[in-house]
Every structure is written in C-alpha cells, then in structure tokens.
Chains A and B, each alone.
Chain A
C-alpha cells in the first residue's frame, strides 16, 4: 500500500511580501490621490458615503481595504473584518496577484483571463478600476504604467502629472 502525503502549498514568502507591500503602498496612495486628483475625488464622490472596497489575493491574502468615512477616503489596512465591504476584487491566487501587481498583466487583461473576480455592483467596481488606473499612472514611470493600464494618459498636462505625482508620493509616504 502506498503512503499518501498531503501536499502543502508553498508559502512563497517573497511573492507574498511583494504583494503585501504593494497593496499597503497602493492603499495609502489611493487615500492620497483622493485628496490630490480631482478625477479620483469625483469618482469617490459618486460612491455611497460609507463605501468600502477590498483588493487582495485568494485564498488567504494579503488584502488592502479602502473606504469612505464621513466622506473622507481612508486606507483601512489589510483586514476587512467587522466592516461591510461593498465591492471585493479578489485575485484568484498569490501567483496571479504577483503577475498583475508586477505589471506583467493589466487589470483588464487579468479580468479577461478570469484571474480577477468581482464581487459586488459592477458600476462601483468599474469606478474602482478607473481609480486604480489613475493611481498607477501617478506611482509608476510611463514605461511601467503603460503595461499596467490599457491606455497611458499622454494627454494629461505636464503640471497635472508632476504636481499630482509629488502630491501623491508625499502624502503616501507621510500617510496623510
């Protein structure tokens, strides 16, 4: 009789750390962009007052939770327990998360390839994707951002790009 062993999935500490740091930084950057960029501000204003969304990897994270509290957009950490989440963007696995968050695959392509699962209202999920795209444009150099978004906004003014980038980075690093 052969001995059957349970196969344990690898913990992939480096990938997990990369994804966790990326989500932490992006969460803070969304909070910053909501104060700096008028388009991001408008997108959030159209969402409900207590709107919360999460983005992360199945089956066991890491996650990023962002929500509005009395109209102010805040990064709420990596744990959504005890808080109703209206939209949950779940990446199928840590490997898929690494693929998307290391810009080897855009959000749209990840959705098309069934790697990103949306749980919640589609119009709200679309708003989040538009916000994520803008934040990625601020955070990343053009060459990398072009891989992450469908269309790099080359028509943005130099002032918007530079001013926005400085504002988003400063606020992200300071957490304000």
Chain B
C-alpha cells in the first residue's frame, strides 16, 4: 500500500443504513433542533411511490408535509431560488433530499441560499467560499451509484446565462445520509446495472488515481468487493433486499473513496461523452472503466493487481501469477459488463456504438469521437490520472471503446 507524504481525508456524515433506516430521521432531526423539514424530490421519485414511504417513516414527530417534487433532471438556479423562497415562507428548519444527483445538488444550493440568507448564489461558487455550517441536510439516495450523499460538491446550472456553477466545501456534506433498501427496490434492472457500474468506477479509479491514500483505499477496496459480488445478483433479482442494501452501502463507500482521492481518465472521457452526446453517465463509466485500467496499467499494475483479491477471492488471487493480476482485473470487469448485458437483455451496452437513444438510433456516432476527445481536454479529472493524456490519447481510447475491442497497449505513449 502506498503511503503518500501528505493527504487529506474528510467524511463527517452521519450514515444510517438498514431496511428501516428512514424511521431514524425524526430522531436525528430533533437532535439537531429541527422539526419542520422541506422535502425535495423529483417527479420520477414521487411517481414511484418513494415519497409515500418516506412520509410514512417520518410519522408525525416532525412536520414534513411540505414536499417540492419538481426538481428537473438538470439542477437549475431558478428552481433553487424558488424552493429557497418556499423554505423561508414556510419557516422550515431543515431539508430532506430524496433522489439522485440533481436533487442532492439542488438541495445543497437551497441550503446555501437559506443558511447564508443570500440573494445571489453565485457569490458562494468555487471552493472554500462557505465559512460556517449550513442548515441540517438529510440525503436519501434513490440510486446506488452517484455517492452524492457523501460528497462535498454541488453543480447548479444557470440556464439563462448558460453557466455551470460549481460549489465545493466541507459544509456542503450532508449532515445525515440514509441508506434504506426500500429506496432502490423498484429501480429497473438496466438502471441498477449502470448506476452500480458508476459506483464501481468511483471505487476503482479512487484506488489507482494520484490522490489515493490509505483511508480512501480502505473504502475503495470494500466497495469493489461488494459491488462485484452483489451487482449481478441484484440486477438478476431486483427484489433482493439484502443485495439492494449492500449496493447502497457499496455506492456510499465508493463515494467516500472518490471524493477523497478523486478520479481520472474514465471520468474525464465519460464527462466529455455525456456532455457531447447526452448519454447516461453510468453507462459511459461501465464502458470506459476497463479502458482506463488498460491505459494506466504500465504505471499502476501493482496497485491494480490488489483489486483482484476483493473481486475474485483468495484462491483466484493466489493462483494468478503476480504479473497477470492487473490484467485479470480488467478481464473481470469486462466479464461483469458482459454478464450485465446478458441479464438486461442487451440494454446494458458493452461499447459506445451499442448505446442507443429511445428511437433506437446510435447515441454516439463514430464521427463525434474527435469532438469528445477535444472536450475531454477541458475536464479537470485528467489531472489526477496517473498517466498523462492528450488529444491523440483520448481519441485512441475512445475509438477502442467505441468498437468494444481491448486497448492496443503498445500504442500507449510512455515517457
């Protein structure tokens, strides 16, 4: 295990996990002096009946009847300001965010506005602008993937000015995260598959990228083992409550790992593919993960080899020659993608050319790969990747991922 000269690690989130974890929320809010939370969610979550479960669990010990269920798929400044007014007008004293990344980001944005009594959210953008604790925020994730219930960042879009504002502060960490198996039980298999692979990409990249440290490593290793074991089972059997809880916990572990060690090429290319083609983030992560490993293998083979133990167990680890372990990890991840493809009846794409939109048209035509390769040069994740990347490197990886062929590692430029 590598011991860096210096590193930072922070996760001061109270995490409650279980099949009935939601029922703990009233106690935790009362402990923090809050009795009237604003519940924030989106139409999809509300439509799936998850808010009813949350409301029943909250009971009448706190007054949680104010529910805003119109958070859009992309966080939006106007929505943040409108819901902040709703919070103030109703004298709320806490926020419960039930949903995925957009709901969490919106909740964090509202919390800045109401806690700082701010008119202009922009004044708090960037890193370190917040100087004091915010109002109590309870995060209830409804997917097992993003890890945003334990991350210290938020991205809010100003659609009028076409601006994307990023906020980073330890004060943005939710106070409480609730991992309850009921929240993911109804998630369709193909969404379970890609969000699970999103969590896998967080854990794996956290384990081999430049900011890795012993504390993030511990979280990443646990997450990798749990996801590899439980993800195919949960996709095959969506009603598996134990598996659902295991995946929620694994995604949380992976979130803690990557928010303290950052991510690299896989997210770098994934963000660019998402912004150019609008394809789901988790699917990009699933496809690109083996390529990120292959691209960095010549620099981090020993570190990547350690992932084989939690994935395949002691017998396989010992039976695999040390110099082949990293390559074996790549094969197992490719195999996992193949399994998920088979279980979901082909909906889980294995390569970029297999991603289709709702009309069945290819979402990532081959001729946009140069555009994606160029867009990736603007993304900060590249800084934490062990090997350097330029436009040609990005394009080479994207072409291999588009075709679904293993990366020709002899073409990777080495210093």
Contacts and interface: CB of A to CB of B under 8 A. Distances in A.
Contact of B210 (A108, A129, A133, A155): A108
A111 B413 contact: no
B6 A115 contact: yes
A151 B210 contact: no
Nearest to B4: A113
A149 B388 contact: yes
B377 interface: yes
B415 A146 contact: yes
B119 interface: no
Contacts of A125: 380
B126 A150 contact: no
A126 B384 contact: no
A108 B262 CA distance: 12
Interface in B369-405: 377-380, 382-384, 386-388
B413 A155 contact: yes
A109 B210 contact: yes
Nearest to A120: B126
A71 interface: no
Interface string A67-110: 00000000000000000000000000000000000000000110
Contact of A113 (B7, B209, B388, B415): B7
B414 A112 contact: no
Contacts of A150: 386-388, 415
A37 to B, nearest CB: 14
Contact of A151 (B5, B6, B382, B387): B387
Contacts of B382: 126
Contacts of A153: 413, 415
B126 A119 contact: yes
Among A112, A126, A154, chain B packs the most CB atoms within 10 A around the CB of A112
B88 to A, nearest CB: 32
A114 interface: yes
A126 B211 CA distance: 17
A57 B210 CA distance: 22
A155 B5 CA distance: 32
A108 B383 contact: yes
Contacts of A111: 383-384
B383 A152 contact: no
A27 B105 CA distance: 40
Nearest to B377: A126
B367 interface: no
B348 to A, nearest CB: 31
B181 to A, nearest CB: 36
A159 interface: no
Contact of B388 (A109, A119, A122, A151): A151
A112 B384 contact: yes
A171 B377 CA distance: 29
A154 to B, nearest CB: 6
A122 B413 contact: no
A153 B5 CA distance: 27
B383 A126 contact: yes
B415 A152 contact: yes
Given A153-B415, A155-B413, A113 B380 contact: no
A123 interface: yes
A112 B210 contact: yes
B413 A113 contact: no
Residue from B4, B210, B413, B414 with most neighbouring chain A CB atoms (10 Å): B210
Contacts of A109: 210
Contacts of B31: none
A167 B87 CA distance: 62
Give the most central of A122, A129, A133: most B CB within 10 Å.
Answer: A122
B8 interface: yes
Contacts of A155: 413
Contacts of A154: 414-415
Interface string B198-227: 000000000001110000000000000000
A108 B299 CA distance: 15
Nearest 10 CB-CB pairings of A with B: A123-B378, A151-B415, A151-B388, A152-B415, A150-B388, A112-B210, A112-B211, A122-B380, A113-B6, A111-B383
16 contacts: A108-B210, A113-B4, A113-B5, A119-B126, A122-B379, A123-B378, A126-B377, A126-B379, A133-B388, A150-B386, A150-B388, A151-B413, A151-B415, A153-B413, A153-B415, A154-B415
Given A108-B384, A122-B379, A126-B377, 16 more contacts: A109-B210, A112-B211, A112-B262, A112-B384, A113-B4, A113-B5, A114-B6, A115-B6, A122-B380, A125-B380, A126-B379, A126-B382, A151-B415, A154-B414, A154-B415, A155-B413
